[in-house]
Amino acid sequence: MNGSVGIVKTEYAEFDVELQLESGRLLGPVTLAYETYGTLNAERSNAILVTHAWTGDAHAAGRYHEDDRKSGWWDDMIGPGKVLDTERYFVVCSNVIGSCKGSTGPTSINPRTDKPYNLAFPVVMVRDMVRAQKLLVDRLGLPSLLTVIGGSMGAMQALEWGILYPEMVRSIIPIAGTGRTSPMSISLNAVARQAIFNDPMWKKGNYRPEHPPADGLALARAVGHISFLSDASMHLKFGRRFSARDGMFDFFGQFEVERYLEYNGASFVERFDTNAFLYLAKALDLYDAAWNFDGLEDALDHLRCPSLWFAFTSDWLYPPQQTEQVTEILARLGKSVAYHLIDSDYGHDSFLVEPEKFTPFIVAFLDRLG
C-alpha cells in the first residue's frame, strides 16, 4: 500500500553570500525554504530534486500536523511506494527565490534598509532560481542528483539544471514546460499585471501586507487560472450551469464558472503576496533557455544527461509543439531524449490532475537509471 511521508517540517537554509544574478545585480544574504523526504543512501547517490511551479512552495508532500487537512502539493507522487519512492530516494523540494513562501523575495527584509524589499527587490530569472538551489544542494552535501523533476515553471528549472550543471545532474524530467515563453503567455501575464497595477491599493508595490491590492490580485489570478484549464475541462467541470443562488436574468447573476474564478481568486489573495506574484510572472516571461548562449541549439548541446519530457494535448499555455521543438533539437544533437504526448482534457493542469497517465513512464525511466 502506497503511503504518506507523514508529518514534515519546512527547514530554512541561510547563506551569507551575494548571489550574482543574470541582471548583474547582487542578492544577499539568501534564505531558501526547503523540505526533504526519505533517506540519503551511503553513496549519496539517490537524491532527487523536485522543482515547483509558479505559485508553489517547498511543501511538496506530507502534512504539518495530525489535524492538517491539506497535504503537500505533489503528495500523490512522493512517499513510500509512490512514483518518487521515499524508501528508495532522498527527495528535496525548495522554494524559489522571488517567492513569498519562505525563500528570499520581495517580502523579505532588505538588509540595506531594514524594511521589506518590495519593488527594490531585483528582477530574477529562472536561471537565478537554479543557482540559488545549487547553494542548497551543496549545503546538503549532494555530489549529484539522480534527477531533477518538475512541471510548468518547475520544468524550466529542470532544464536549466541540466544545462548549467551537467556534471551533477544524471537526468531531468521536465513536464508541461517550454524552452522559451511564447508571446501569448507573455500577453496573458501582461493582462494580469495591469489588473494589479490598476488596483489603487497596490501603491506601486508599497501596500501594507494587511491591506493588499486584493481585487487586482484576485483578477490577475483568474487570468492565470483560465490559462491552466482548457475548453474541455471547463465543460466537464462547469458546463453552462448558472449559479443556483442567482436568477438567470439578474444583471449580476453568475455562471458557475464565474463563481469558481471568483472563489479561487479570493482564496489566492489569502495565501500569496502580490509583489511575489509579479516577480515570478516576470521570471516566467523572461524565460529563454537560449539566454546568453548562441541560440537554443547551443544551450541544449550543454545537456549531457538523459531527459524525459511530457506534454499534454489540451495544454494551450505551453502547447505540445513547444516541448517538441526542444526534444527534436536534442534528438538531432544525438542526446538521450524521450518524449511522451499525453492525451488529457485538463489543459496545463493535467500534470497535477491526471498523474496516473504519465507516471509509469517516470518509474521505468528511474529504474533504468539504477
d(CA 172, CA 300): 13
Kindly report the backbone phi and psi dihedral angles of residue 107, in degrees, each rounded to the nearest multiple of 5, phi listed first.
-85, -10
Q: Is 152 a catalytic residue?
A: yes
Q: Is 255 exposed, middle or buried (0-12, 13-18, 19+ CB in 10 A)?
A: middle
d(CA 188, CA 362): 31
Q: Is 315 a catalytic residue?
A: yes
Catalytic pick among 199, 227, 348, 350: 348
C-alpha cell at 310: 511530457
d(CA 213, CA 225): 18
E strand intervals along the chain? 11-15, 19-20, 26-27, 30-37, 47-51, 78-79, 84-85, 90-94, 109-110, 115-116, 147-151, 172-175, 307-312, 337-342
Catalytic pick among 103, 315, 345, 350: 315
DSSP per-residue letters across 326-345: HHHHHHHTT--EEEEEE--S
Catalytic pick among 4, 94, 103, 152: 152
d(CA 108, CA 95): 14
Q: Is 136 exposed, middle or buried (0-12, 13-18, 19+ CB in 10 A)?
A: buried
Please check if 367 is assigned to a binding site: no
Torsion angle defined by CA atoms of residues 95, 19, 105 and 7, in that order, rounded to the nearest 10 degrees: 30
The single-letter DSSP state of residue 123 is P
Contact 146, 89 (CB under 8 A): yes
Q: Is 348 a catalytic residue?
A: yes
Amino acid present at 349: D
SS3 263: helix
Please check if 75 is assigned to a binding site: no
Q: Which residues are annotated as a binding site for substrate?
A: 221, 349
Q: Which residues are annotated as a binding site?
A: 221, 349
Hey, which residues are catalytic here? 152, 315, 348
